[in-house]
Structure 1
């Protein structure tokens, strides 16, 4: 390899594989074209090669892949015991934590008499949680996050379903995701593309008479177009046709406005009532026969005159269908924080892939050594071996329990002892596992391979888990904004679909709150809260939040605070002494207002009244 051929990018960790180093190089393009087709852009081949290789490691097929690509002729004999899959599943468990909760900013202030803002935040929070339960967000999230940890990337899609009256959530393989960026390259990695494709091949179906096809779903942000409806071509294929108004101008969708001077159509979206927009998102879903595509027909520039458009369940033709939103309802997750100018994430196992190969090779050698240790090789000298009566040749000798050999006076038996080599190989396995734990930052304590007796205290365990804490923090940081965007899209799609109960106006800030990723010393947290609240350096609200984060069964923080205050008679007495306001004390204890019409306590007994009259 020359210096000019050295590639340094987000997938440089696979360059040690000769067949994977540069799929664009001459002689290898055709090799990958058999798997991806000629429609795949050259700049995406390296990414797709990395995805395929990582999937092979996850399914214990790395040896088979190495044998097929010519990297290792003995790859079929490689022993793979699921170490890569364990790393991915372990990282997934720490990333997700014990639970995930949707939280809307301001909803925590919704008390007995909440402000309009707090009440609206609480209503949106309840609706988002209800939507998440119906759409199985924890399950979908686990699917997407495992893909992101394994491959470095994952994709969510959102779509409004008129029948169910809610937004549908779906996860996609990142190998089907092809964003289209400006050719000038002047864009930041954190920006969103204006055109995105989801594309894959459909196999030939002889029973239905269908050829091998390419399906491409395209989302595109573009200026708002005139109103359109379903139409047909001369051969009866569905297509969209644009409508014309009575005055000969373009027909407009209800609510759109045409500026005659510029010819621009603007629209006011419910989430931006004071900001008219000239942009919308168009959806196109079409198929092409692979036989109709030439080698020069790349995914981004397919011949539209050969396309066959799909029809949605409600009869809408998916040919630049106006989705009535000003954003692309796709969210691309990255497992790590991309480098400057990059858009793709880095898998958790990327930096330790060679160590996994070393571990697999050591396991293979250990398997061979254990075979010779359990069934040793024996050398016989001066032994009388049984003879095959037909051929007259000695029969093969096998070691079995109870086998007896007759030896001559000078005969002997030598046994090859490979137990020492087996012990060395097992020690090497432990060494490689320690390197994998350290370099992946999952740590031996996180992987469960650390001896608990080796830690003198809980503080030592906390230090041992330090790299894992920083890894989880970085992974969550890379995802926090994406889930904010996803939940904002969910609100806006419900507004665009005019779903019942979703208010118009600006979208509220909603976040996905992760649970603790490591076990918490609940007793220590409780003691800290008691001392902090008792000393007045922590508020009751903060203390209750700390207890919830520690895993105490507190469902609603505000209700728990009210229960605590209803029994805090000492604090109420101090409040009365400090303010002298009985009304404030009763409000603090959650009691109703006192009746101000007090009865007259001055009463005269009948006998006393009579005695007084007699004396008078």
Structure 2
């Protein structure tokens, strides 16, 4: 570095696609501008997170048409004259709609199988019903929409789950990724689940309440199970948690008291969780503390704040949130990356990342077009002649008559060709941005449907969008399953009576289609497949639901179809000969059948004469007969 002192340092990381912005990447240090991003340079923010927080703020500025205001901090007030017409926001909203799909359904594999009744199918159906009821109560689609907009626009979204003892259900919250600080070991894999997660943000000064600027930090941490604690106060009067001790009757020293259900296994404390088959030695601790900014002196960051300066919060039940044992063996936080992170990385990438330079060019073109349209609507006129020589400048208004002298003339400056060229340039830039983001014009709704030559051509044009949405949904598939797994475990840990007999099973969130579908073709395909026996009824009904048919509940739809399938019930009766099985297939009650009376045969004749009289055909003339 001594030989090339003053040279710009090249930084390549998860946010290096923003290096082209002078306000983001300093010429010498390669760090964000301190005046533009003061939050990223706070003393408690780790150095590894400074560029990430600055990137979030810059992306939010583009989303809210404030990129010019942010650039004005470095480039001067002229940057505020930029025209921003909401193109980045439109791209984000369109991508969010596609990745969400038309509908979202919770599905437990095996719950929709109606051909066989077994304990696994009943357990899956019961869990699916409970999860869907929870999703309706918690407005899960709305929470997903909030998180997806953060993930698509900023690159990351965060869910937080917690048990609400008052409402007796798991609650879900959405956090801005700028508040999310996972502790990832230097020698660990960024794709691994962190064992300690912080949510931290600054609280402004409140002179009316006499409060100074503060920092709040909520921490979830996996650690070894410790003896029981209770709420108390320390010598300074702070609310803290203190260990509980036993009082033996034999005069021995007090010993730590264990939590209910815990047991000592060697040197560690073990605990049985209802979703595990064997004892576990770790639990999740919750800490909610606040510091005054003035007390954060020295080389400290969000993970190493001085605990002796902290003020701990208290929840609604009076428990001090100082390493409160949550009785769960997982951190109830789900990080949702927008894209599949690179190897050993933790963070996703915004969908606007590769197109920001195009959006800058588009803002410049829109600004020039706005200025050119002013000169086109109010043209510049030059007058020459005796009448015009008296005044250096005249105002032009409709109906005004200019009297020109001898050899007078009037000239106008026509800027319409330049305006048309700028509009063409704007159209080309929008098309370039669509190509970079992989959003075709048909997906943005800017293409005239009458100009599409055929459905096959439409499907080909949606190819880039298909691959884009497939990758984005792949990044979310495991996170959706993890979210529902945490919901199930929280209800089991909260000992909700409806969840007492629940068997933990994998569940997923099925996202609906995002492209137009030919309903008639799908209906014909399903009908032929089910009638030919190469497709199950469950699969066919699911295909119809995904195609947009108004099917609210697949299970109920299948039961209604089978309740009218009398021809299939007849075949089932011929195959099994079981009336109860047929009635169960139709969803009806089997009729009560009376016992069939024994067959009464006629008495045997006493002699042959009586037999012949009874049957004339038994005589010797039976051949003639």
Question: Alpha carbons of 1:514 and 1:28: their partners in 2 closer, same or farther (altered >3 Å)?
Answer: closer
- In the TM superposition, residue 473 of structure 1 has moved relative to its aligned partner by 1.1
How far residue 541 of structure 1 moved from its aligned partner, in angstroms, is 2.6
Task: Determine the C-alpha separation between the residues in 1 that align with 2:529 and 2:255.
Answer: 71
CA distance in 1, matches of 2:452, 2:550: 30
> Are residues 568 and 324 of structure 1, via their aligned partners in 2, closer, same or farther at CA, if it must alter by over 3 Å?
closer
Give me the TM-score of the superposition, normalised by structure 2.
0.89
Quote the residue 1:201 is aligned against: 202
Which is higher, the Rg of structure 1 or of structure 2?
Answer: 2
Pair 1:344 & 2:347 matched: yes
| Structure 1 position 169 matched with structure 2 position 175 | no
- Equivalent residues in 2 for 1:252-267, closer than 5 Å: 252-259=258-265, 261-262=266-267, 264-267=268-271
Do 2:62 and 2:88's aligned partners in 1 also have CA atoms closer than 8 Å?
Answer: yes
Q: Which of 113, 126, 131 is matched with 1:128 structurally?
A: 131
Residue in structure 1 matched with residue 547 of structure 2 by the alignment: 550
1:50-61 to 2 correspondences below 5 Å = 50-61=55-66
1:41 to 37, 41, 46: 46
Runs (5+) with no aligned partner, structure 1: 388-393, 603-614
Query: 1:547 Cα deviation (Å)?
Result: 1.3
- What residue is the counterpart of 1:238 in the other structure? 239
Moved more, 319-328 or 113-122: 113-122
Whole-angstrom distance in 2 between the partners of 1:474 and 1:566: 40
Residues 404-415 of structure 1 correspond to what in structure 2 (within 5 A)? Answer: 404-415=401-412
Q: Which of 486, 511, 514 is the matching residue for 1:514?
A: 511
Residues 1:354 and 2:375 aligned together: no
1:447-494 per-position Cα deviation (integer Å, ceiling 9, x unaligned): 112232332111110111111111111111101111111111111111
Shift of 1:505: 6.6
Deviation at 1:99, TM superposition (A): 0.7
Secondary structure of residue in 2 paired with 1:399: coil
Matching residue of 2:92? 88
Give 1:294 deviation, angstroms: 1.4
CA displacement at 1:234 relative to structure 2: 2.2
CA distance in 1, matches of 2:269, 2:53: 40
Q: Deviations over 1:284-337 (max 9, x none)?
A: 111111111114221111111111111111110011111111111111110000
Residues 3, 471 of structure 1: alpha-carbon distance in 2 compared, 3 angstrom cutoff: farther
Matches within 5 A, 1:264-303: 264-272=268-276, 274-303=277-306
Q: Is the alpha carbon distance of 1:291 and 1:560 closer, same or farther for their aligned partners in structure 2, counting shifts above 3 Å? A: closer
Q: 1:238, 1:553 → 2: CA distance?
A: 55
Distance across 2 between alignment mates of 1:67 and 1:521: 50
Compared with structure 1, are the counterparts of its residues 124 and 293 closer, same or farther at alpha carbon in structure 2 (3 Å cutoff)? same
1:39/1:194 Cα in 2 relative to 1: closer, same or farther (>3 Å)?
A: same
Describe the superposition over 1:340-389 as per-residue Cα deviations: whole angstroms up to 9, x where unpaired. Answer: 011111111111111111111110011111111110011111152596xx
Q: How does 1:182-221 map to 2 (within 5 A)?
A: 182=185, 185-221=186-222
**Does structure 1 residue 399 correspond to structure 2 residue 405?**
no
1:483 corresponds to which of 480, 501, 509: 480
Structure 1 304/131 Cα, relative in aligned 2: closer, same or farther at 3 Å? same
Pair 1:67 & 2:65 matched: no
Within 5 Å, which residues of 2 pair with 1:573-612? 579=575, 581=577, 583=579, 592=590, 595=593, 597-598=595-596
SS class of match (2:287): strand
Q: 1:9 to 1:395 in 2, by over 3 A?
A: same
Aligned-pair Cα RMSD in Å: 2.7
**Alignment of structure 1 residues 112-123 onto 2, 5 Å:** 114-123=117-126
Give the distance between the partners of 2:475 and 2:45, measured in 1 at CA: 28
Q: Give the Å deviation of 1:283.
A: 0.7
Give, in angstroms, the shift of residue 134 of structure 1.
1.3
Contact 1:522 1:550 in 2 (8 A): yes
| SS of equivalent residue, structure 2 residue 498 | coil
Residue of structure 2 in register with 1:304 after alignment = 307
Correspondence for 2:619: none
Contact in 2 for aligned 1:271/1:505 (Cα 8 Å): no
Which residue in 1 is equivalent to 2:608?
none
- Distance change >3 Å, CA 589–CA 161, structure 1 → 2: closer
For the residue of structure 2 that corresponds to 1:420, the secondary structure is: helix
Q: How many residue pairs are counted as aligned between the two chains?
A: 592
Distance 1:29 1:291, change over 3 A: farther
For residue 255 of structure 2, what is the aligned residue in structure 1?
A: 249
CA distance in 1, matches of 2:508, 2:91: 27
Report if the CA contact (8 A) 1:24-1:42 is conserved: no
